[in-house]
Structure 1
């Protein structure tokens, strides 16, 4: 009986070591994209069969958000709403939720977080990488908008 237990133990250890060599080696993979006006990198430690679909799904969601909320894209809901004037524009529930949360954050930070800063950003030239220092008069006028 002791001999049988020893043989079974030996095979158990052999199977464990064999399985450990059969596992897929996980390695760090870096995936880099240009989006939202900046460079985005994903560092993923996983088998590529898992990493590639996961990164692809994450990047697709980031692109969806960028397409909806970018102030650089003329077809985004943000740009359409900004250019609609008093006509208005129908927006998604997600858009409304973000506006509501933004208002809450503005109140919590006493106005330090302010999504209405776009006119100031425009006069400084940040949108098109043609920066300039506006005059105090321009700044004061723009802050009244």
Structure 2
């Protein structure tokens, strides 16, 4: 899960009335750098500050369990025991892995948490990023395969069946974390809040104090922060996740190499997508975790296959931005879009 902290690619446009607020409408804003990303939590109400502090503590707990760069984490222990033995882990890790495997099957492997060896090989977002040789990639591909993860639910343990395998939860952990923060906010009675985990996992809880819709600005993937947006997405309570080739990447000999790897080829996904956003209704269980996973599936699969998967799922919609600056919406996308940049055109 180690990532280079780049400029947050998405920004949140919130119009807050300047009139005096009641205690119920009191706004608390806090930032923290966790999971190697900038997190921004905003909550309203008398318990807002306590809720945010508890949420950040929960983030630390999850990172200690799920980070592949912390040697004592459950994930590191699983990786260290690959091909040898089962490792007993926290139930939360079992939940994340089981959900990941479910969607690996649904997507025919477009999402696969066993890409750990490839992530380490490419080193994208680290000081060791490079373009590996074909032979190196082929060697690591032999260690990739979600079917080689074995779960023993009876004692909450996990085993990777091949020595040298490793899992990486970077494509799902932030979504899981956002779901946990939602639970904490509700526990503290927070009825209005926005959770922004690095710009790629966002949850809008309840409605804004002024009763207007939440407004999310989607950054132009080919421009720097604050230099332009694709559009604004207006939404009520829901989970929104984004993925793109602009969040972590390097350019070598004029070619962009980004961090979303295709488990089938071992190279950065090249399906004509430069970004996508998945919107999931809050009535769906674990909406943030699913949104996190589904953005990766759509990005790797491409417009046709990706939207076919999205359309098969209840309460899920998606918009895909292709490298020719066109926007494709899934059949159930009904979120209002405003201020569409003239650089982009709706394809459907």
TM-score by length of 1: 0.75
Correspondences of 1:92-103 after superposition (within 5 Å): 92-103=90-101
Cα deviation, residue 22, structure 1 = 10
* 1:19-38 matched pairs, under 5 angstroms: 23-24=22-23, 26-38=25-37
Aligned residue for 1:4?
none
Give SS of 1:96's match. helix
Select which of 59, 75, 79 maps to 1:78: 75
What does residue 61 of structure 1 align with? 58
The answer as to whether partners of 1:121 and 1:127 remain within 8 angstroms in 2 is no
- Among candidates 33, 49, 52, match of residue 49 of structure 2: 52
- The separation in 2 between residues aligned to 1:58 and 1:25, in whole angstroms, is 19
Cα–Cα, structure 1 residues 58 and 25, in superposed 2: closer, same or farther, change >3 Å? closer
TM superposition score normalised by structure 2: 0.33
Structure with bigger gyration radius: 1
Query: Counterpart of 2:128 in 1: which secondary structure?
Result: coil
Please give the secondary structure, in 1, of the residue aligned with 2:88: coil
Q: Hey, what does 2:119 align to over in structure 1?
A: 121
1:31 match: secondary structure: strand
Contact 2:68 2:75 in 1 (8 A): yes
Paired position in structure 2 for 1:40: 39
The one-character-per-residue Cα deviations of 1:109-134 (angstroms, maximum 9, x if unpaired) are 11111100110000001374421111
Work out the CA distance in 1 between the residues paired with 2:128 and 2:21. Answer: 56
Q: 1:139 to 1:44 in 2, by over 3 A?
A: same
Contact 1:72 1:127 in 2 (8 A): no
Q: Rate the CA distance shift 1:81–1:22 in 2: closer, same or farther, 3 A.
A: closer
Distance in structure 2 (CA, Å) of the matches to 1:40 and 1:22:
25
Q: Which has the higher strand share?
A: 2
Return the alpha-carbon distance in structure 2 between the equivalents of residues 30 and 54 of structure 1: 11
Give ranges in structure 2 of 5+ residues lacking alignment: 1-19, 144-348
Q: How many residues end up aligned between the 2 structures?
A: 123
Whether the aligned pair in 2 keeps the contact of 1:73 and 1:79 (CA below 8 Å) is: yes
* Highest RCO, 1 vs 2 (Cα 8 Å, sep ≥ 6): 2
